Structures are given as structure tokens and as C-alpha cells.
Structure 1
Amino acid sequence: MDGQQDGGHRIVVGVSGSLGSLAALHRAVAEAARAEAAGRRAEVLAVLAWAPQGGELAYRRAPCPPLLPFWREAAVGRLAEALDAAFGGAPSGVRLTAEAVRGDAGDVLVRTADRPGDLLVVGAGGGLLRRGLRPSVTGYCVRRAGCAVLAVPRPVLQHDLAELHRRNRWHLPAEPLPSR
């Protein structure tokens, strides 16, 4: 039943386990809690997109169906770990369901948040280098979603870790490391 017809609100959130996706997960739960406080039924659907090892193209070239259940199980495990990292399990007071779906992240999220009343929540920003290596899931969702998209900024901790990594990347130890 459509979330608009039954008075409910469905919030779809992309989860990968990164700090940005954990921030998006927290924001999605906060949006659901806000809807519940306003007297509207709300549900969070946490979605982790997964692909076979090496990607879909590699799998099409050399399919190995017996491995698919293992890859799917690994994705379900990553999703459970992300929920545990974010909330210590499932958050209380909010209806949350989670699923691992095979496919490219942007496409999976846009196909899942397919109702006009849905809210799609994604973590924003992977940096210029990351976007050069892999297209932006956030940008894909903003351009293609048929519902509202909320792009949650990178958490301050993620900025701090990236800066620390940049500063320390070029520094070598002053003395050679002891050999064993």
C-alpha cells in the first residue's frame, strides 16, 4: 500500500557502512522519529546494494552461481554490522527494516524509493578522487529519483580523518623501522 494512502511515510536510506552512510542512517531515523512525533506513521528502509566479487561485468564474463549466496550473505552481514555500528542493533521507537539488494547502489536506491511520497536519504560526498574512480551515488540519486532526496553532508569526523590522512600521507618515519 502506498505510504501516502495509508497515512505513512517511507524513508529509504542507502547504507554501505561508511561514516557518511552511517550519518545518513541516523538522519533517516531522526526524520522517521519526527514524523512519528507529528502523528504520522513512518518506516525506515535501510538498503545496502551489493554486487558479485569483481563487479557485475566480471560476473557476466565468468559467472559462478554457487558463490552468489555467499556474496549475498556477506552483504547482509555488512548491513547488520552497519546497523550495529550506528545504533548498537536496531534503533528503538522507529520501524526499521533492512535489506541487501543486488545491483549498482544508485540504481538500487532509485528503484527502491519508487513512490512519490518516499524520502530517499543518502550520504553526500566522497571527495574528488573517489568520484573520479567511481560515479557519485548521491548525484545519480538526485538526478534520477522520482521522490525527494536528502543528501546528508559528510560528518565532521570524516573530514578530520581525511585531513589527518592527507597530512600524514607524505611523512616517512625519521628513523628506519626496527627489523625482526
Structure 2
Amino acid sequence: MNGSHRNDERPRGRVVVGVSGSLGSLAALHRAVAEARRTGAEVIPVLAWEPPGGELGYRRSPCPPLLAAVRDTAEQRLRDALDAAFAGADPGVPMHPLVVRGETGPALVQTADRPGDLLVVGRSGGPLRRRLRRSVTDYCTRKAGCSVLAVARPELQQDLETLHRRIHWHLPVGPAPELVRAKG
């Protein structure tokens, strides 16, 4: 097989990945790209958005200029997330970013609508956050008609959340006392 023939082939599958710009979604995006490289698939990064106040609120008080501004902001957020993930470099796989109006879980499941698709999602925050908001990961694993890969939260995200909690509760944030004693 020569190189030019390979470039003319269509990707064998799709890897759909939820992207919000969070560290967890960027980890999921990197994993999606790795899976696409491994299988020769294309990557479809999806950012879902809703009007302020949700769909019901928008139906009660429609404002097309506001809706257009929110959609433009969502498109910019997706571009910014892709730039942050790859620092402007080519990820090396075909990529077709998509901005979808709707709740995140349903938008991802509707986009990953082919049996051969792989849906990649990042794990959301800790137990408290999952109690306050519906888990996108849980929704996708229950409702998707394709394989779903849930990517663990990056260690850096866990460290930042720990630091945030310590600051919030006015606890010391420096190195652990046993580390300070060991150096001295």
C-alpha cells in the first residue's frame, strides 16, 4: 500500500468525545485521539450548550441575539479547548469539531449514533458534584448504543480540587510537615 492510497481512504470509524475545556475533558480528548490513531478513526470533539435558563426558559422569553451570542461563545470555547489540548499542533488524526445545542449527555449519545462509534467521556467531579448534577458519564453508559470509554480524572485535577478544599476550609496548603522535617 503506498502513502497516497492510504490518504484517500475514509476513516474506518468515529471516536466521539465530550469536550468542555475542563481538565477531565482534555484528558478524554487526548485518549480519544490515541484511540483514533490506534484504529484509524476520525475524532469528533463535541461541546454541548444550552440557552441561559435552559430550553424552557428560552421558550418563555426568546431572544435570538442572546442565543446567537451563547452559540458563538460555545464555538469559541471548543476552539480554545482544542488549542489548549494540542497547543496549535496537528493531532495527527482527522478531526471534525461539533457544537451541539442541548444537554451534554443526550447530545453526546445522539452524536455517537452508529454501532461502530466509540464515545469517550471524562469523569466528572467528586461525589458531592455528582449528587448536585446528573452525571454525564452515567447517562452515556446507560443510553449509548455504542461502546463508551470513561476516562479517569487526571491526577492534576484531583490535586487542584484538594488544594481548593484546603483553601476553602482555611487549612495549610504548603508541603506536608513530615516532608519539611525530613529536609531539615
Q: TM-score range by the shorter chain?
A: 0.7 to 0.9
**Kept after mapping to 1: 8 A contact 2:49/2:102:** yes
* Structure ranking higher in strand proportion: 1
TM-score normalised by length of structure 1 = 0.85
User: Does 1:168 find its partner at 2:178?
Assistant: no
Q: Percent identity?
A: 67
Deviation per residue, 1:28-74 (Å, 9 max, x gap): 001111113xxxxx100000000112222221221112322111110
Match of 1:23 in 2: 27
When structure 1 is superposed on structure 2, of 73-82 and 60-69 the one drifting more is: 60-69
Match of 2:176 in 1: none
Letter in 1 for 2:49: W
User: Does 1:34 find its partner at 2:49?
Assistant: no
* Structure ranking higher in helix proportion: 2
Which of structures 1 and 2 has the bigger CA Rg? Answer: 2
Separation (CA, whole Å) in 1 of partners of 2:37 and 2:59: 42
Q: 1:78/1:90 Cα in 2 relative to 1: closer, same or farther (>3 Å)? A: farther
**Kept after mapping to 2: 8 A contact 1:83/1:90:** no
Separation (CA, whole Å) in 2 of partners of 1:151 and 1:91: 24
Gaps of 5+ in 1: 1-5, 37-41, 174-180
Deviation per residue, 1:108-147 (Å, 9 max, x gap): 0000000000000000132122112210000000000000
**Kept after mapping to 2: 8 A contact 1:32/1:44:** yes
TM-score normalised by length of structure 2 = 0.84
Counting matched residue pairs gives 163
Q: CA deviation at 1:101?
A: 0.5
